[in-house]
């Protein structure tokens, strides 16, 4: 038997930690499975519930209400709610860092946020005034981010670095499954040409239980009641929102990479129904079929891509390469309906872009955790980093709306989306801390 080295080798030092940050102990396989199931189900449920409304029923609802320019109003609503999401994600990530309770730092926010998001998501289907509808949808985003910001911080708080890619896969695959499945389900509630209230009930219920399910599956969070209390003055609280400045170069490169990718994604995703209706000029019956088949393809390719990305990333000890390759794959998929102006183009988009975005989602969250400058402020810093998501969600629909209102068509939307995805690759490649 070879002697045990007295000091760790460079390879050992570079190896990711196998110990849980909160206990400094290895995680049993059963605990890993509980974390994986929790990340998967919370992501599936909220994304499924939101997508039923956001992808299909909300756009149709605006038409049902007789809005003169529903595509422009949809862009405005998405922009406003994205700003709300941006602020609330940062706020609740910070607040959860500072929470002291017997239930832990993250658990109360995860549960309450999901319930608030679910109730207000359902209300979108019963409000008839577009101003009230927009305000309610904003409150829904508050609830959603009240849940998501602390939930994502669990990845940093409690999951060993060595399996974060795999755990991130469960999170990414869940969303990759939930979004297309939600669009498929949502399409079934517009078969009569109007958005059915029962679809809003289902969407709200799914989001409402998502946080509860995750907390029930995860091992119980340790009490934070006796943890050191953060300085409590207003000045201290305001200073806690200041973005990181020390050793934060890679942090901001990851921010830009995700921001541009989300612009690319939301330029297409937020307008999927209108693209199928107005770009392909299909009948009402063909729209339902095309939406369902497109998202069925996305669902299948998302499952294959999502479950491959994270484990391969952990095995190779690489984060950047899977993120860059998947971004380019997504861009290639967006090119399909641009080059092939038919349902075939949409189906090829679903297959190629769906696979690419699933791989991207399964690895990107692990990359973001790995570039955090201060693990003790994970909730706040992840909140800032997740602002890139909400900014992308805001800017994507705005760009699409601007292009469509100026040109009267969707043709230019596709090359702009492609350019944004490619631009994000350069920012990711510049990251130094992560391989």
Domain of residue 345: give its range. Answer: 29-221+238-429
Domain for residue 286, yes or no?
A: yes
The angle, 0 to 180 degrees and rounded to 10, between the axes of the packed helices 343-370 and 249-269 is: 160
The angle, 0 to 180 degrees and rounded to 10, between the axes of the packed helices 107-123 and 197-217 is: 170
Domain for residue 17, yes or no?
A: no
Residue 369 token pair: 């955790």
DSSP string, 279-344: ITT--HHHHHHHHHHHHHHHHHHHHHHHHHHHHHHHHHT-SHHHHHHHHHHHHHHHHHHHHS-SHH
In sequence order, the 6+-apart residues with CB closer than 8 A to the CB of 310 are: 165, 166, 167, 168, 169, 170, 172, 362, 363, 366
DSSP, res 435: -
* Partners of 26 in beta bridges: 19
Residue 131 token pair: 């101003």
Are 334 and 352 a contacting pair, CB within 8 Å? no
Domain for residue 156, yes or no?
A: yes
Domain for residue 228, yes or no?
A: no
Which residue in 283, 339, 324 sits closest to 422, CA to CA?
324
Residue 28 token pair: 């049993």
Which residue in 129, 380, 420 sits closest to 238, CA to CA?
380
d(CA 124, CA 60): 12
Q: Residue 189 has what pLDDT?
A: 84
The pTM assigned to this predicted structure is: 0.73
DSSP, res 412: T
Domain for residue 69, yes or no?
A: yes
CA angle (199 as vertex; 79, 405 as ends), nearest 5: 30
**Kind and range of the H or E element at 359?**
helix 343-370
Are 138 and 84 a contacting pair, CB within 8 Å? yes
Q: Residue 22 has what pLDDT?
A: 64
Q: Residue 353 has what pLDDT?
A: 92
Which residue in 362, 371, 270 sits closest to 325, CA to CA?
362
Q: Residue 334 has what pLDDT?
A: 95
Domain for residue 170, yes or no?
A: yes
CATH of the domain at 337: 1.20.1250.20
280 φ, ψ to 5°? Answer: -90, -15
Q: Residue 236 has what pLDDT?
A: 55
Which residue in 234, 425, 168 sits closest to 320, CA to CA?
425
Q: In 3-state terms, what secondary structure has residue 112? A: helix
Q: Residue 193 has what pLDDT?
A: 64
Domain for residue 383, yes or no?
A: yes
In sequence order, the 6+-apart residues with CB closer than 8 A to the CB of 126 are: 197, 200
pLDDT tens over the chain, length 435 residues: 444 444 444 444 445 667 766 666 777 888 888 888 999 999 999 999 999 998 888 988 888 888 878 878 887 888 788 788 878 877 887 788 778 888 888 889 999 999 999 999 999 988 989 899 999 999 999 999 999 988 988 887 888 877 777 777 788 778 878 888 888 888 888 766 677 888 899 999 999 999 999 999 998 888 877 766 554 545 555 665 677 777 777 888 888 988 999 999 989 987 888 888 888 888 777 888 888 898 889 888 888 777 777 677 777 677 788 888 889 999 999 999 999 988 999 999 999 998 998 888 777 777 777 777 776 666 667 767 777 877 887 788 889 988 988 888 899 999 999 999 999 888 888 887 766
Listed in sequence order, the DSSP H helices in 188-233 are 197-217
Domain for residue 361, yes or no?
A: yes
Residue 333 token pair: 């998929």
Domain count for the chain: 1
């Amino acid at each position: 038997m070879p002697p045990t080295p007295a000091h760790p080798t460079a390879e050992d030092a570079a190896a990711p930690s196998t110990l849980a940050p909160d206990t400094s102990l290895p995680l049993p396989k059963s605990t890993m499975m509980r974390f994986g199931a929790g990340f998967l189900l919370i992501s599936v449920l909220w994304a499924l519930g939101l997508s039923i409304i956001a992808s299909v029923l909300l756009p149709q609802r605006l038409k049902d209400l007789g809005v003169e320019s529903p595509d422009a109003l949809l862009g405005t609503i998405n922009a406003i709610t994205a700003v709300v999401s941006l602020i609330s994600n940062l706020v609740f990530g910070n607040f959860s860092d500072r929470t002291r309770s017997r239930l832990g730092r993250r658990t109360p926010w995860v549960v309450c946020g999901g319930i608030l998001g679910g109730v207000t998501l359902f209300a979108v289907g019963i409000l008839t005034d577009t101003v009230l509808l927009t305000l309610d949808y904003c409150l829904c985003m508050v609830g959603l981010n009240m849940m998501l910001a602390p939930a994502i911080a669990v990845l940093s708080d409690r999951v060993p670095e060595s399996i974060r890619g795999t755990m991130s896969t469960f999170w990414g695959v869940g969303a990759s499954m939930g979004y297309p499945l939600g669009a498929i389900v949502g399409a079934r509630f517009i078969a009569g040409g109007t958005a059915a209230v029962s679809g809003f009930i289902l969407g709200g219920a799914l989001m409402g239980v998502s946080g509860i399910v995750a907390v029930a599956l995860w091992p119980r969070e340790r009490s934070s009641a006796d943890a050191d209390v953060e300085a409590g003055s207003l000045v201290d609280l305001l200073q806690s929102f200041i973005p990181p400045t020390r050793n934060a170069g890679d942090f901001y490169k990851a921010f830009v990479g995700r921001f541009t990718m989300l612009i690319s994604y939301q330029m297409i995703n937020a307008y999927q129904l209108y693209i199928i209706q107005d770009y392909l000029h299909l009948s009402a019956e063909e729209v339902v079929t095309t939406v369902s088949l497109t998202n069925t393809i996305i669902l299948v390719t998302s499952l294959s891509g999502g479950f491959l990305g994270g484990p391969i990333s952990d095995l190779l000890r690489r984060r950047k390469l899977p993120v860059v390759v998947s971004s380019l794959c997504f861009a290639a998929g967006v090119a399909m309906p641009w080059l092939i102006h038919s349902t075939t183009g949409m189906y090829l988009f679903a297959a190629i872009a769906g696979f690419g975005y699933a791989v991207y989602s399964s690895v990107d969250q692990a990359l973001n955790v790995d570039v955090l400058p201060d693990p003790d402020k994970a909730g706040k810093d992840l909140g800032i980093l997740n602002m890139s998501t909400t900014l992308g969600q805001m800017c994507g629909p705005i760009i699409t709306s601007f292009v469509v209102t100026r040109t009267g068509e969707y043709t230019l939307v596709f090359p702009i989306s492609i350019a944004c995805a490619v631009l994000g690759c350069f920012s990711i490649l510049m990251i130094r801390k992560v391989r």
